[in-house]
Amino acid sequence: MKKPSLSALRKKLDAVFSEWIRKRDAHGKDYAHCCTCNRAYPWKSMDCGHFIRRQHTAVRWTATNAHAQCKRCNLQGGEMVNYYQFMLRQYGQDVIDELQRRKHQAPRFRRADYKEMIRFHSQP
């Protein structure tokens, strides 16, 4: 049996992580509030918005870096001023500084790393 490619595993992880974040932010309900505009939407119709852009893989799948965000806000560049204010209220400057510091790391994820993160974020 052929092993899944790293890109296939990354794509799968993105999907399960996104669902995990949006469900987390819905608090067991059908609706979640957008982290930047605070409007409520069905969690299934929302995006998984990232404070630090997804290109920074060191924090791409970090729970404190991702939150339910409506498509409108996410497509408008993430509404970064509002996102920063949300992060400050939610976590404080220390967490923001740590994410900023960690984004410059360049981890090398192996197949086993992706599989473990997929397993973790697939749990109810």
In this prediction, residue 25 carries a pLDDT of: 97
83-112 tens-digit pLDDT: 999 999 999 999 999 999 999 998 999 999
Rounded Cα–Cα distance for residues 54 and 13 (Å)? 12
Specify the higher pLDDT residue, 85 or 3: 85
pLDDT band for position 1 (50/70/90)? confident
10-42 tens-digit pLDDT: 999 999 999 999 999 998 899 999 999 999 999
Three-state SS at 56 = coil
